[in-house]
A and B are shown apart, each in its own frame.
Chain A
């Protein structure tokens, strides 16, 4: 699905140039959840934005479904960390979810239907007419996820999506992400600073180093597909994996 080949990113030019990301390579296969963990400031967001086509790619190759990424690809959706600033407060929830579809060839009825479908799927059918600022943080992020789902992307990018919600809501939203992968047959690249979350959600965990960032390690998460917040997190394999990730991060 996604191929990142020797991707580098430099900030600034000339003498002030700073190599932020140093030849990072990895792959995301269809139907996988790949979690990217790294210390603060290591360029995880820059990496994600480059995959999303929001940054120009100077060095290296990024391919989505075999095609090189130049500009923003059409089969990709992004969920940002700051949901309250990403959603449009002048539109109600349903209009927000429907908004990205306005440029496509769908009719108004089709757009409305897709938006309603997505909202129902994330469990927010009854707040369709409300405005985002009338909802709690967790619900707003679910609206953002519904908006991404209605877009029907091949790959979903999530940039520390649950960093701004409380722990209990985070648990609910993590399980929602698992359902997205399974029931919507989605491929997900998720950036997080939460080690436990990366192991809980991921099929593979990509550990990044400090700047200049390289891939320290890629861990395969050998936990069963069906995950449970309490049982899975208590299992020996989970504890072993998260310790391993923590150790790699400390490098």
Chain B
């Protein structure tokens, strides 16, 4: 239909979303309820709060500093810490089956606890502020990448194991140069999931345990019946999640180019 396949891809991706927004606009206008502002109104508030800066700063206003940056900082920090611990611990457990045997019961138990339930616990332990949020994010989002790392390390091709042994490749180089790349497809899959978890936990932990950031904004606006701001906050979180996910996918596509190509050939 379209000569340009990039245009087709773009339309495919955004057509349904555009229709969704239009339907929403129509429905919100029709019901005329202050709790459900129209998308246009929400965008207007978003612009008021955060996009009121000069063009030289990409229109970003000072609101960004109090609302967005702290949240993104906690999210990125928590996600990074969870990822590093998850990968290191996961590979260690995957490579030393004995360790995994001992640890599996404890891990299964801890993993089953819904992290949101632990928010009050962390509040008591850390009080309001960034450490509490980081603890919540790390504890809640570490599981996907941890489990995937264990799986990835365990399922390294035995022929590669034999090859590495036959060429006397040392233990450290084996882990860094063979196990890590071989497990990276599974690790990246875990990273994408734990990014989603981290985002949710960031917002949730900010709803109760913070004095700044997006979550705080949302709960504060809801408390003062400022629904447009509340929805603006929600929209912001969605955009944040979308952008970060696409960033991660872009990194993954670069890092796993070899994997995707091999799969294409096999398929």
Contact = CB atoms under 8 A, between A and B. Distances in A.
Interface of A: 49, 52-54, 72, 74, 76-78, 80, 82, 85-86, 88-90, 99-100, 102-103, 131, 133-134, 151
Contacts of A100: 167-169
23 contacts: A53-B165, A54-B165, A54-B166, A72-B165, A72-B166, A72-B168, A77-B166, A78-B162, A78-B163, A80-B163, A82-B159, A85-B160, A86-B159, A88-B181, A89-B258, A89-B259, A90-B181, A90-B258, A90-B259, A102-B173, A103-B170, A133-B258, A151-B167
A102 B164 CA distance: 12
Contacts of A99: 167, 169, 177
Contacts of A151: 167
Range, interface on chain B = 20 to 34
B166 A78 contact: yes
Contacts of A54: 162, 165-166
Contacts of A74: 168
Contacts of B159: 80, 82, 85-86
Given A53-B166, A74-B168, 8 more contacts: A52-B166, A53-B165, A54-B166, A76-B166, A85-B160, A90-B259, A133-B258, A133-B265
A5 to B, nearest CB: 22
A88 B177 CA distance: 10
Nearest to A73: B168
A49 B162 CA distance: 9
Contacts of B170: 103
Contacts of A89: 258-259, 262
B158 to A, nearest CB: 9
B5 interface: no
Interface in B164-223: 165-170, 173, 177-178, 181-182, 184
Given A85-B157, A88-B160, A89-B262, A103 B173 contact: yes
Contacts of B182: 90
B56 interface: no
B167 A77 contact: yes
B33 interface: no
Q: Which of A49, A85, A90, A151 has the most CB of B within 10 A?
A: A90
A53 B167 CA distance: 11
A53 B164 CA distance: 12
B253 to A, nearest CB: 14
A95 to B, nearest CB: 10
Name which of A49, A76, A85 has the most chain B CB atoms within 10 A of its CB.
Answer: A85
A151 B168 CA distance: 11
A103 B169 contact: yes
Contacts of A133: 258, 261-262, 265
Greatest chain B CB density within 10 A among A72, A88, A103 is at A88
Contact of B168 (A85, A103, A131): A103
A99 B178 CA distance: 10
Q: Give the 5 A-B CB pairs with smallest separation, nearest first.
A: A100-B167, A85-B159, A78-B166, A90-B181, A133-B262
Q: Which of B157, B159, B184, B265 counts the most A-chain CB atoms under 10 A from its CB?
A: B159
A119 to B, nearest CB: 17
B258 A86 contact: no
Nearest to B181: A90
Contacts of B259: 89-90
Contacts of A76: 166
Contact of B258 (A52, A72, A78, A131): A131
